[in-house]
Amino acid sequence: MFITLEGPDGSGKTTQIRLLYDALVAAECDVLLTREPGGTAIGDQIRTVLHDIENSDIVPETEILLYSASRAQLVGQVIRPALAAGTIVLCDRYADSTMAYQGYGRGLNLEALTAITDFATGGLKPDLTLFLDLEPEIGLTRRKTSGQEWNRMDRQTLDFYRLTRRGYHTLAEMEPERWVSIDASGSITEVAAAVWATVQRRLNLQGQSPCG
């Protein structure tokens, strides 16, 4: 089972995926938590380049290729071997971020992005994508007050975030069996309960009974 979390900046993905990981460990599941960009030594180096505020002159094509290079490394080195071993893989962002941010947000050619993504991942798609949906204004306010690292991608305009969110909605509509949208405006506990209920249903976990 390959599960990804998607959503705008400030939607609480990173907190929620950690809580989901803890819940799966408590249910005795064999689970691995990783993230994009990054998740490998090479990917973390690429993440540093992508997030560096000094790199504001990066051209869109370079940006997409760097995200894709990080993804290719993560899929080859971490995700495919883990899935082959029967491990549940949780990933904080994946290829849908490229379609939403570079495709719908920056307006890059969607067919080209799909081809690059297929090449990078060998066509590996998540079984379940949880989308933490939030108004961009709320996400940005949360980001500014969170005390977390402020990176190059946080410098986008509100219009960019609106296009990105609309892109996510379009992607979810195209593959409704893979996507589950969760309202991320609630408290951490409320959102975590919705995430856990969805994953329990998909994994067929009953109450406290363990995995497998």
Residues in contact with ligand TMP by CB under 6 A are: 9, 36-37, 67, 93, 97-98, 101-102, 153
Compute the least distance from the CB of residue 93 to ligand TMP, in Å: 4
Compute the least distance from the CB of residue 209 to ligand TMP, in Å: 32
DSSP letter for each residue of 123-140: T---SEEEEEE--HHHHH
Distance from C-alpha of 178 to C-alpha of 43, rounded to nearest angstrom: 26
Residue placing its CB nearer to ligand TMP in the complex, 85 or 149: 149
Strand partners, 34: 91
Residue placing its CB nearer to ligand TMP in the complex, 148 or 209: 148
Residue placing its CB nearer to ligand TMP in the complex, 117 or 203: 117
Angle, CA 170 vertex, CA 12 and CA 38 arms, to 5°: 45
Residue placing its CB nearer to ligand TMP in the complex, 44 or 200: 44
Compute the least distance from the CB of residue 29 to ligand TMP, in Å: 23
Contact (Cβ atoms closer than 8 angstroms) between residue 29 and residue 210 = yes
Residue placing its CB nearer to ligand TMP in the complex, 101 or 205: 101
Compute the least distance from the CB of residue 207 to ligand TMP, in Å: 32
End-to-end, the C-alpha distance of the chain in Å comes to 12
- Phi and psi torsions of 75, nearest 5°: -65, -50
Pairing assessment for the beta strands 88-92 and 2-6 based on DSSP bridges:
parallel
- Whose structure tokens read 């609480």? 12
Compute the least distance from the CB of residue 81 to ligand TMP, in Å: 20
- Position 147: which residue type? G
